[in-house]
Chain A
Amino acid sequence: MSQTPLLDLSGLRKAYPGVVANDDVTFAIQPGEVHALLGENGAGKSTLVKMIYGLVRPDAGTMMLNGTPFAPAEPRAARAAGVAMVFQHFSLFEALSVAENVALGMENPPKPSALAARITEVSNTYGLPLDPNRRVGDLSAGERQRVEIIRCLLQDPRLLIMDEPTSVLTPQEVDILFATLRKLRAEGSAILYISHKLEEIRSLCDAATILRLGKVVARCNPREKTASELAELMVGTSLKPPKSGGAAPGDVILKAQDLSMPSASAFGTPLRNISFELRRGEVLGIGGVAGNGQDELLMALSGERKLPKGSLYFDGEDIGTRPADMRRRIGVLSAPEERLGHAAAPNMSLTENAALTAARRQGMLARGFVNWGAAKGFAEKVIGAFDVRTPGPNVAARALSGGNLQKFVIGREVMQAPEVLIVNQPTWGVDAAAAAFIRQSMLDLAAKGTGVVVISQDLDELMEISDRFAALNEGRLSAEVPTGDLTMEKIGLMLGGAQTTAMEQA
């Protein structure tokens, strides 16, 4: 049966200085199909999707929507043609209500009361209930995504593009989203689903196109392949899962006791009575959807923000009031989520960025004077040990790709032989090979006796590498549970805020 594809892409090409983002991309999406677009970071998924949505003009190639040529000059044209997109990062104003936000995105918004009624109707029809009068700032990430989806649905789209939609959702919210998408599919709309979550794609999608380095390398039905086969198609080589040293953990090295910290800004998350114990040689995974206090927790543990006495103990010593460089001196190191701007200064060289945290511990300081030769040497060591692809240590941090910079940032801390290492989102936005390397290096560090805290939104990652798991929800930390005892359901509940006390765990 040959039906007209909903969207037919042929020979699309887009090049930027130094890189060809998309090279001769050709595939088709049928109506009523959920089509997955797979690929690592840097494979060209975002660029391709921006071309479909009218944000970027292709250098060559053609697009056909329902058999007619399709070349949107801007997103408005794409929307008028029936293409809608839900981005990974939302464009919502936190201080305005749901209805106001939706109205802002519309060409001719109806009257507020009519709009509110429409929003309620559509959101209930598709199983994403939403109160149009609530302030967006008060909504969870999953609820905010609903606003974005409703915004799209109100335009009756024929093609809905979703970019990494489940990165901010709990497992239960993922189920709700999938039910909505299946309903849309049943109505004849098509969905272009970008993700690297292979199990989800296998459960939801009918067809998949796999990109690697800008080219289409495979087209398949994801249900007929295993997750590791899909991963290998994405990466091009076979990946080995990380192996832990398997040693038994030692004494408690870091202990948080009723750690509380007010939020720094109106839209931040305060930390509330967080308690945990970290043992030497152990990996403690802290999971949680973004926006529940991960950044704040890292800043509290790293020393960027001070804590009251009695909140944080290192090897029995109270370190809550100590500033960051004093904590580094005793061996408490950290790597924040934001690579450029927080973990590293974007315009400074890797040598200077090495001195950022390693100056004291690696002997680069003498009476206040910096030994730049030693800094360069250390940077070169990190670059070598962590396979950072860069011409040399004098390159500015912003010139590195996300994966390579992340390897440098983590490597910088790991090579300082810390007693405790706290990392936030260690492999976010990083290609699969670099991610595997980083995870293995953290396991190796733990095998040597360092206590490692991994804060991450990627549950698969946490299940792979942590010995114990706790969930961060609205600034509260659940009790730690050994990873072996966990099920997806239990994790989902923990993430949703159900507190398990030590008694209930038995």
Chain B
Amino acid sequence: MIWLEKRPAPSRTWSAASPIVAVFLTLIAGGIMFAILGKNPFEALRTIFWDPLFHEQFASFSRPQLLVKAGPLILIAIGLSFGFRAGIWNIGAEGQYIMGAIVGAAVGLALYPSESALIFPLMVVAGAFGGWAWAMIPGLLKVRFGTNEILVSLMLVYVAENILASAAVGWLKNPDGAGFPGSRNLSQWDASANPELIAGTGAHWGVMAAVIAVIFAYVVFTKHILGFHIRLSGEAPRAARFAGVNPSLLVLVCLGLSGALAGLAGLFEVTGPAGQIGIDFNVGYGFTAIIVAFLGRLHPIGILLAGLLMALTYIGGELASFMLSIPGAAIQAFQGMLLFFLLGVDVATHYRVRFGRKGVV
């Protein structure tokens, strides 16, 4: 007979080891999935995890892509981790990402064709503001009316996508673009461009912002009273209220922060790798960041590593679909399995598995 027995204190070894075990289990399950699809599992896994970094032909192209993909994932996931640790579930980061990009781009384009050095910083602030404001909607509704932030933030993603489409074909459309949908290309306009800062690495301002965010989150969680209150609210809400935490304020701070960081990620993307506001601007970073946040155990350093790992699966997945004709959906299934195994293995942190018979009279 097998049963679970609660541990007297959470196990530190398992807390650190569970992501590693989860990754390992995902590799096995993913390998089986690829085998069922008729592909050689070892070749598929090698193409996804090894080739993007070390293949003699492709690696020089795909390596910079790693940071391009990881930057927004990490930036958004750090923002999300504040809320998630407090039990405040921002599921609409994708929408905040879109709105950050739109508001930032709109502010920049309003100043076109000036070449002032203030334009990019202004756009950055506007991008953060756009994401923040979009996250304030579920925040204020929760604080005032007790609405569920999961539902409101998620629904607003679809609203944001529609606003994006209307902007791309309407009010932000490039007047010199021969009628094609899409805004001016911001990455080609010097005042607003977000170029690669260190050649060959793909590191643009968004990546820098992600690194700063990781450091900031680490400091807040370990040393600042806000971090302590957030952790407390997530683990023991009654104790948090006893300690004097204002729950409404916490909701607004956490949602606002994650919205702002998601908006920043959107702004850096639209002025850099994506280049312009288009109908298909958003590629799902806001949702994948949720997986990154949990894979990283909601810890800043963990999120950094998890972001890099997920970026690798994106790039490896593209490579695998190109080289081995593995469908894109298989890669998404793979990413989902990671989260699944992580949550499953997490049980070991709080419970011990016991075998044997419970007792004989």
* Chain A residues within 8 Å of B, Cβ to Cβ: 14, 17-18, 56-63, 71, 302-304, 323-325, 328, 336, 338, 341-348, 352, 355-357, 359, 365, 368-370, 372, 395-396, 398-399
Contact = CB atoms under 8 A, between A and B. Distances in A.
A396 B5 CA distance: 17
Given A359-B225, A365-B225, A399 B9 contact: yes
30 contacts: A14-B359, A17-B5, A57-B358, A57-B361, A59-B359, A59-B360, A62-B361, A323-B246, A324-B242, A324-B243, A325-B244, A338-B238, A341-B239, A343-B242, A345-B240, A346-B236, A347-B9, A347-B235, A348-B231, A356-B232, A357-B242, A359-B225, A368-B224, A369-B223, A370-B223, A370-B224, A372-B223, A396-B8, A396-B10, A398-B8
Nearest to A13: B359
B5 A343 contact: no
B232 A323 contact: no
B244 A324 contact: yes
Contacts of B223: 369-370, 372
Nearest to A72: B361
A328 B235 contact: no
Contacts of B236: 341-342, 344-348
Contact of A368 (B10, B226, B239): B226
Contacts of A323: 244, 246
B241 interface: yes
Contacts of B9: 347, 395-396, 398-399
Interface size, B (range): 20 to 34
A352 B9 CA distance: 15
Interface string B347-361: 000000000001111
A399 B10 CA distance: 10
B158 interface: no
A348 B242 contact: no
Given A357-B243, A398-B9, 4 more contacts: A342-B242, A346-B235, A356-B232, A368-B226
Contacts of A372: 223
Contact of B228 (A303, A341, A355): A355
A344 B225 contact: no
Contacts of B242: 302, 304, 324, 336, 342-343, 356-357
A78 to B, nearest CB: 13
B244 A399 contact: no
Interface string B232-258: 100110111111101000000000000
B172 to A, nearest CB: 40
A345 B246 contact: no
B239 A369 contact: no
B244 A303 contact: yes
B246 to A, nearest CB: 7
Contacts of B226: 368
A328 B245 CA distance: 13
Given A57-B359, A396-B9, A304 B225 contact: no
A354 to B, nearest CB: 11
A58 B360 CA distance: 6
A348 B235 contact: yes
Contacts of A18: 8
Nearest to A356: B243
Among B5, B224, B231, B238, residue most surrounded by chain A Cβ atoms (within 10 Å): B238
Contacts of B224: 368-370
A194 to B, nearest CB: 21
B358 to A, nearest CB: 6
B294 to A, nearest CB: 18
B238 A342 contact: yes
A359 B228 CA distance: 11
B238 to A, nearest CB: 4
A342 B239 contact: yes
Nearest to B8: A399
A246 to B, nearest CB: 33
Nearest to A352: B228
Interface string B328-347: 00000000000000000000
Nearest to B241: A304
B228 A343 contact: no
Given A345-B232, A365-B225, A395-B9, A328 B244 contact: yes
Contacts of B232: 345, 348, 356
A370 B225 contact: yes
Contacts of B241: 304, 324
A356 B225 contact: no
Contacts of A303: 244
A368 B231 CA distance: 15
Nearest 4 pairs between A and B by C-beta? A57-B359, A325-B244, A345-B236, A324-B244
Contacts of A304: 241-242
A425 to B, nearest CB: 15
A59 B361 CA distance: 6
A35 B164 CA distance: 77
Interface string B206-240: 00000000000000000111101001100110111
A345 B359 contact: no
Nearest to A364: B225
Contacts of A57: 358-361
Contacts of B246: 323
Nearest to A304: B241
A352 B361 CA distance: 44
Given A303-B244, A396-B10, A356 B361 contact: no
B359 A356 contact: no
Nearest to B228: A370
Nearest to A359: B225
B253 to A, nearest CB: 13
A450 to B, nearest CB: 20
A61 B10 contact: no
A395 B223 CA distance: 19
Nearest to A360: B244
Contacts of A324: 241-244
Among A57, A60, A303, A345, residue most surrounded by chain B Cβ atoms (within 10 Å): A345
Contacts of A347: 9-10, 235-236
A338 B243 CA distance: 14
A248 B308 CA distance: 69
A369 B359 contact: no
A343 B226 CA distance: 19
A327 to B, nearest CB: 9
A323 B248 CA distance: 13
Nearest to A17: B5
A352 B225 CA distance: 11
Among B5, B9, B10, residue most surrounded by chain A Cβ atoms (within 10 Å): B9
Nearest to B243: A356
Contacts of A345: 232, 235-236, 239-240
Contacts of B228: 352, 355, 370
A282 B223 CA distance: 39
Nearest to A372: B223
Given A58-B361, A369-B223, A370-B223, A344 B8 contact: no
A367 to B, nearest CB: 10
Interface in B118-134: none
A58 B361 CA distance: 6
A56 B244 contact: no
A50 to B, nearest CB: 11
B244 to A, nearest CB: 3
Interface string B45-74: 000000000000000000000000000000
A395 B232 CA distance: 16
Interface string B1-28: 0000100111000000000000000000
Among A58, A342, A357, A395, residue most surrounded by chain B Cβ atoms (within 10 Å): A342
